[in-house]
Amino acid sequence: MQGSLSFLLSWVVFLWSTQPSAGTRIHNAGKYSEDWLVSQTFPYKTSNDLFMDPCKADGFLSDMALTKDELVRYTRSAPILAVPSGNSTFLQDLLPMKPQSASEKGTKLKAWLETRNRTRSGRPSRTGNRPSSVKNVDRSKVKSRSPRAATARTERIWEDGIIPYEIDRNFSGEHKALFRQAMRHWENYTCVHFIERKPEHENYIVFTERPCGCCSFVGKRGSGAQAISIGKNCDKFGIVVHELGHVVGFWHEHTRPDRDSNVEIITSHIMPGQEYNFNKLTSEEVNSLGQPYDFASIMHYARNTFARGTYLDTILPRKTPEMLERPEIGQRIRLSEGDIAQTNLLYKCPTCGRTFLTPIGSFHSPEYDEEKYTAVNNELKVTPYRCVWRIEATHGEFIALNITQMDIGHTKDCFNDYLEIRDGHWHKSPLLARLCGANRMATTILSTGSRLWLEYKANKRITNSFLQYPTKAEAGFRARYDVICGGNITAPKGQLQSPNYPEDYRPDKECVWVIRLEANYQVAIQFHSFEIENHDECLYDYLELRDGAEAASPLIGRYCGYHIPTSIKSTGSSMWLKFVSDASVQKAGFSLEYVTEYDECALTDHGCQQTCINTLGGYRCECRIGFELHSDGKHCEKACGGFIEALNGSITSPSFPELYPPNKMCIWQISSPPQYQITINFTHFDLEGNNQDCEYDSITVSSSSDNTSSDWRRLGVFCGQSIPTPITADNNIVRVVFQSDNSVQKSGFAASFFTDKDECVVNNGGCQQICRNTMGGYECLCNNGFVLHENKHDCKEGGCKFLINEAMGIVSSPNWPETYPPRKDCIWHLTATPGHRIKLIFQEFEIEPHQECTYDHIEVYDGQSSASPVLGRFCGSKIPHPLLSSANQMFIIFQSDASVNRKGFTAEHTTECGGQLMATGVVGHLYSHAKYGDHNYGNREDCDWIIDSNSDAMAVHLRFLTFELEDSQDCSYDYVEIYDGYDDAANKLGTLCGNKMPKDYTSTGRALLLRFRSDDNINSKGFSVAYNTRPYDTEDAEGNAENSNSATDTVFDEDLAIGSPERLNPYEPT
């Protein structure tokens, strides 16, 4: 890994510091033509490891990673913590980032809150998962439920309590043993069961190490593999048990809604930025099934968690009169009785039975007694039983089960009452026996593997018309088991472990295994952990391997000590293994994996396109120099990146249009002759991320004119699914860098590039004032106040009257940036999309000063003419403050007299959604965004429109003409809300999303509030609305939002056949 990183850094330095020489290989300009790329539609794809990196979670509560929907629910209903010292209450927000150091978290939290508070209270984070609001949460209106601490969502519970797992190979044997010890601890007290993952297990956990340290998701994610990260300083037994508690489905104990009755949160002692970790959750997320608050839970915070100082308490148990002292909290030693009880309730564990992890044991069915019988109509009813026992040994051991007594009610095929024994870990494992009656088993039942599963059911009904006293029912059964090591093994692959692994092996053990495979195959062994009492000649405890099936076969080696042996391979199809321990000094033992070994590369169907490399138990494909492996692991493609000197071509992500590989960096450098510009046009774009932070996978585009490190200028960083607009570099060298991390791969990108000579570079293209390069040519333009001469190169003074309807642009004084001419009168009439306001921001300002701006000045009006209200009259050198119109029009006048001319001004005009609209009998319109009809609405839209009839006798009537927003089940991402009044304290009439046309809405008073919000991804067409006034109608008030049939609707039907904003044609100055 270190070598690969060094090579990668060297390659980057090389590209950033060199030009291709005459002998440099020039990269093929692309295997796809631009016309073909544009004509094709490629599917969007995502790898199946979405939850393999909890550091990428949408949010965090301490070490608990939150998914998008959990983040939405949490921020919508986050409880409020009181700030001490008399401060007002405030909302402790969820931190949408991975766990880091306290200082990093505090700094990022501050920045995140600043971003969040620039919009409305309750606006979402930049994770792309934004709820509607978290303010105004009335707890009294929330339906009361039991106190809660475990997951309340059934889809988060693992089916049958079985949790398949994998452990990353980069963990040491000690770590793997620790993880298994922690899992056995859960198994020993609950019916939750951890098993090695097999191909048929779609959902499973993976023990891994991620930068976020100790973290995991709560419960089952249901989307393939999900990681449980055990980072540095997390490799302690209690911490791993705690993290597994999250996997099982538990939140932290102190997040229960009833926690304030049991503990006190001392907010003044909490580290800045960590307050969110002490918020309570709601009944939508957690459920303790009525169990009391558990101070001893392994899922509880300690008293000084996230404290400003070591001896400060952040969470303090409340002391009741019955307590002699406050309970201890935050233990990380074992599962508490409350943890065990909650788990057994959560997973509906049978009330009788258990998991056995000991080498020998005995058990029996529950004892019957007279109190279990009740007489109803001369019929005795026996209380039904269902018991489950699980017997678990280590790999390389099998279980011998003996039924010593049996008296179970007999029915045909043992249908009613029975004892069922299965060869595996659950009720669908192969059936070994189904027993009933009074027969004692004459033979021993043997498992083929290291697990047995037993289920006992008794539900017998006894009828006796003359019975005065209950009689004893059948006695049930008694059983004994022994765990035996050694034996013949014929499975093509598997694991072997020392007895009692991962605990210390037992004394005085001798285990002999013989692995027998089919002829023409070999046995290959790889050790995962090894710790056997050391001796120079391995006389006491040892593992002996022989190349064959007999004790007299050639010796491969006798092993002891603490060094993991290298991989071993037999010469034939069998191997003999013997483990011996004496009466003293026990160690952790060994764990090994064996596989069937043969040369897959000698076969013709290995699938490698170029080179096949045989490995222990498998093979891998490799490619020749100049090629790299496709993401399918079989085919080869030309290595990504390189120098390109073609005038046009294409570049694509590796393996396009299939998933790009992880941990990939590709650098393309496109060079064109001097005076040429390069344009990059993306035709397909699908990278991990939301086009905001791009911290995982990304495309970075930069340009340079001389290829020096100081000359490179970044043109953009892109990710997500939004196709970037074409990028035209202002220099003749462009560098495109593609990077992917180690998880979540997408279908990638395709882009074409082409070059064009910039005629404006030399002598300004012959233009007198402004030269603008165009594809295949150029054009001359003139400054404000001038028009183009008939020769298309020179400029002459022209009129100064402008009608502007673009969503954004620049307004500047005549001849800017030169001095404005004398005796000039200019007019700008700006018109925005209906429902949007115009914002004017001055960037530079220098006009002849005067106390009353009598001589030269600029005057801005809030409307369509100089008769509209004045927003301001300005002169001098002080830049005016930004101006915002109340509606969609703004009128600007600039005047200069005969003397004293200055530089003038330049200002940017943009549009802002929302505002107060006046409804009349004439139909008005509003649109979701300024570029409605041309583009989808943008990210993080935050718009409030108040539509007022200005009359207590008139209501506001509103009809949607078009409607298309991102759809979601609860409209929590992009949505429209309608309130029957001036603000969101009024009655909410509806929350809308998707593409179903909403019904009409009529206010019960004189105003309606229409609110529009969008999140950070998945944008749609938006909506258009028509509104007018109508006399107040009781029927409309009672059945609000029903389409009415009044005369007003005739106006709507005739006038509202409109789906896009009115567009005004700008005219040239005269």
Distance CA 585, CA 600 (A): 43
Q: Are 787 and 795 in contact (CB under 8 A)?
A: yes
CA-to-CA separations, 632 to 47, 166, 635, 637, in angstroms, rounded: 12, 22, 7, 11
- Contacts of residue 44, Cβ cutoff 8 Å, sequence gap at least 6: 686, 721, 746, 747
- 252 labelled ligand-binding: yes
Quickly tell me which residue has 């697990």 as its tokens: 451
- What is the rounded CA–CA span in Å between residue 971 and residue 992? 7
Q: Considering only CA atoms, which of 456, 171, 154, 118 is closest in space to residue 286?
A: 154
Q: Which two tokens stand for residue 687?
A: 């990278």
First to last CA, the chain: 69
As a whole number of Å, the CA-based R_g of the chain is 38
Give the separation between CA 679 and CA 664, rounded to whole angstroms: 24
The residues that are catalytic are 243
* 944 and 1011 Cβ atoms separated by less than 8 Å: yes
Q: What gap in Å lies between CA 597 and CA 572, rounded to an integer?
A: 10
Residue pair 187/392 in contact (Cβ under 8 Å)? The answer is yes
- DSSP class per residue in 932-959: TTTS---TT-EEEEEEE-SSTTEEEEEE
**Token pair of 326, please?**
């406050």
| Chain Cα centroid distance, residue 313 | 33
CA distances 964 to 273, 626, 807, Å, are 38, 48, 21
Maximum C-alpha span of the chain: 127
Give the relative orientation of helices 173-189 and 237-248 as an angle to the nearest 10 degrees: 60
Q: Strands across the sheet with 857-861, in order? A: 801-804, 825-831, 889-895, 857-861, 870-874
Q: Which residue has the tokens 């505090």?
A: 106
Strand-pairing partners, residue 226, are: 51, 205
What's the angle, vertex CA 592, arms to CA 586 and CA 594, rounded to 5?
150
Tell me how crowded residue 1042 is: count the other CB atoms within 10 A of its CB. Answer: 13
Tokens of 946: 């108040």
- Is 789 among the annotated ligand-binding positions? no
Are residues 1069 and 802 in contact, defined by beta-carbon separation less than 8 angstroms? yes
The structure tokens listed for 893 are 């006048």
- Look at the block and give the residue holding tokens 């509202």: 1056
Closest Cα to residue 543, out of 568, 510, 569, 517?
A: 510
How many CB atoms are located within 10 Å of the residue 582 CB?
A: 14
Count of beta carbons in the 10 Å neighbourhood of residue 663? 12
The answer, yes or no, to whether the previous bond of 502 is cis (omega within 30 of 0) is: yes
635 is in an annotated binding site: no
User: Per-residue b/e over 100-133, b at no fewer than 16 CB within 10 Å?
Assistant: beeeebbebbeebeeebeeeeebbbbbbbbbbbb
Q: Residue 705 in contact with residue 711, Cβ under 8 Å?
A: yes
Residues 6 or more apart in contact with residue 103 via CB below 8 angstroms? none
Q: Given CA atoms 357, 358, 360, 361 in this order, what sign does their dihedral have?
A: negative
Give the closest residue to 436 by CA, choosing from 423, 446, 426, 421.
421
Q: How many CB atoms lie within 10 A of CB 182?
A: 24
| Positions at the binding site | 242, 246, 252
| Positions at the binding site for Zn(2+) | 242, 246, 252
